[in-house]
Structure 1
Amino acid sequence: MTRIFLAGDSSVTSRQASMAPMVGWGQTLQLFVQGAEVINCARAGASTRSFLERGRLAWILENGVPGDLMLISFGLIDMKPGDGRFTEPFKEYQGFLRQYVNAARDRGMHPVLITSHERRVFDKYGNMRRPLGQYPAAMREVATQLSVPLIDLNEWSVAWWRHAGPDGTKALFLYLEPGEHPNYPKGVADNTHLRAHGGVECSRFIAAEMQNRALLPPSHFRNLQAQFDPEQAVEFLPDDVFDQQTKERVAEVRR
């Protein structure tokens, strides 16, 4: 069976039950894929630099086989200074992306670059801002230079966020009133992380783009036009399983 390995940050990762209803789009991708296993190795707080340095890319390369896909999506953490994770978009960020692509190809895997969805940031007049700045453009340039398939989730998300507006986007992101959910008794207003509806539609878009680009045979895709209750469709990992996967999916980095 073909496998789809996901390398990315908190926008991609599968969340544990104690973090519900926060989701990453990698958590919902399997809803739209059949006959191929999604193995979500993305981790919250990961940049292209830290994911590689902490052995997470190495684990994918050790476990992947020729013909598997590697979906690569970073940017939300690369832009943050400090903690040894920051990368300049047209310098280290591009350099690390090239390492991912070349390493996947050396293993016989098929790399796919996916720009990060945009954050929910509007000014006082309701105009949407784009805090990710140059990172999506930097990834697009690498995709062109290395002839890698690119799925532009960033542009797609910007169009959706703008259409939904400052109020409508609150239903897509992790916005909860005090007492609305036991995991967030004081409420939360998170402009970075999605909840079920946002995650499901992001993964639906990605799966549709994968189908359009023939990254998998047509029979591997399902539910692309189906409507269902996102809150009921999303599954959350038990916390102990999440913790175990986080510890296990690390390999020694070869220098």
Structure 2
Amino acid sequence: MSLTRRQVTTAALAAVPLAVAATSPALASSAPSPQGRPRRERTLYIAGDSTAAQKYADAAPETGWGMALPFFLSRTVEVANHAVNGRSSKSFIDEGRLDAILTAIRPGDFLLVQFGHNDSKSADPTRYTEPWTTYQDHLRQYIDGARARGARPVLASSVERRRFTADGTAVRTHGDYPAAMRALAAEEGVALLDIEALSLALWQELGPEETKKYFNWTAAEQDNTHFNPPGAIAVARLVARGLLRRRVLLPRDVRRLDDEIPESWITWPEA
């Protein structure tokens, strides 16, 4: 049975959890509003892939960095994590997921966009985009859609995978996609969080063995793309620092940037 665009959009809204991590007891110390309820000023929407997405109990200990981001933000900013496993800048739009965000986003909100991992899959026409043409064309739809609704778009280059040469040098794996995003951000005047460069530097600092503690390495698998709780927390910290450095958020909007975050704050709800 074929679905109309409206049905797809409705399904996307129903299927995507909004700010699951924001209910963590880790946030309980935030000052309430005078009415005794948390003060909600703006929402930061995440459009992205599996590296950022909410994970559930059947996937633990795999953790998306979007699950940890609320630990670094005050209650002046709510996180709505719409990132979904396996999506590219193209397939996210084609499935109506961008429409779902644009239906909910309000003036003063933020749309943080991270794609690239799956855009490079040339064997899959439902996801593939070419870095300097269709990838940039699709990213413009996120930028234009947010701006048209009075929200601020933010681009984030793809977090790097764990890959090293024999001599222990961390290597880039995303081809021209990060460069294409940087160029588009400059052209459009959009804030860019260069998470690709920042994460690559972090993996280089940690080295081949220590980085295993940040990725989803278990007895069952050796996953060099997806994170466990320490890795997700580390990348979320990079994102939060970038949001502050690029003046997307104000100092009052961030917290704990230099604090140790307990792994126990990460939880995986039932699907």
Q: TM-score range by the shorter chain?
A: 0.7 to 0.9
- Show the counterpart of 1:190: 223
- Show the counterpart of 1:120: 162
With normalisation by structure 1, the TM-score equals 0.87
1:212 counterpart (245, 264, 268):
245
Contact preservation (8 Å) 2:111, 2:153:
yes
For 1:6-85, what aligned pairs fall within 5 Å after superposition? 6-34=46-74, 35-83=76-124, 84-85=126-127
2:88 is aligned with what amino acid? Answer: S
Secondary structure of the residue that 2:146 maps to in structure 1? helix
CA distance in 2, matches of 1:197, 1:208: 17
- Show the counterpart of 2:266: 234
Distance apart, 1:63 and its partner CA: 0.4
- Show the counterpart of 2:202: 160
Distance apart, 1:102 and its partner CA: 0.9
Distance apart, 1:17 and its partner CA: 1.3
Contact preservation (8 Å) 2:192, 2:246:
no
- Show the counterpart of 1:149: 191
Post-superposition Cα deviations, 1:102-133, rounded to whole Å, max 9, x if no partner, equal: 11101111000001111111233333221211
- Show the counterpart of 1:253: none
Distance apart, 1:206 and its partner CA: 1.1
CA distance in 1, matches of 2:118, 2:249: 29
CA distance in 1, matches of 2:250, 2:200: 29
Contact preservation (8 Å) 2:88, 2:127:
yes
With normalisation by structure 2, the TM-score equals 0.82
Contact preservation (8 Å) 2:43, 2:78:
yes
- Show the counterpart of 1:99: 141
Post-superposition Cα deviations, 1:39-74, rounded to whole Å, max 9, x if no partner, equal: 000000000000000000000000001111000000
- Show the counterpart of 1:182: none
Structure 2 unmatched runs, 5+? 1-40
Which segment is superposed worse, 211-220 or 63-72?
211-220
2:258 counterpart (225, 231, 241):
225
Distance apart, 1:201 and its partner CA: 1.2
Distance apart, 1:214 and its partner CA: 2.5
Secondary structure of the residue that 2:44 maps to in structure 1? strand
Identity fraction in percent: 39
For 1:173-188, what aligned pairs fall within 5 Å after superposition? 173-177=215-219, 187-188=220-221
Distance apart, 1:165 and its partner CA: 1.6
Post-superposition Cα deviations, 1:136-163, rounded to whole Å, max 9, x if no partner, equal: 1010000000000001110011111112
CA distance in 1, matches of 2:207, 2:48: 27
Cα–Cα, structure 1 residues 150 and 175, in superposed 2: closer, same or farther, change >3 Å?
Answer: same
Cα–Cα, structure 1 residues 217 and 163, in superposed 2: closer, same or farther, change >3 Å?
Answer: closer
Distance apart, 1:218 and its partner CA: 2.0
Distance apart, 1:212 and its partner CA: 2.3
Contact preservation (8 Å) 1:77, 1:86:
yes
Q: Which has the higher contact order (CA 8 A, sep 6+)?
A: 1
Residues 1:172 and 2:214 are matched in the alignment: yes
Segments ≥4 residues shifted beyond 3 Å: none
1:137 is aligned with what amino acid? Answer: A
CA distance in 1, matches of 2:133, 2:246: 29
2:94 is aligned with what amino acid? Answer: E
Contact preservation (8 Å) 2:233, 2:261:
no
Distance apart, 1:237 and its partner CA: 2.6
Which segment is superposed worse, 119-128 or 94-103?
119-128
CA distance in 1, matches of 2:203, 2:192: 21
2:80 is aligned with what amino acid? Answer: I
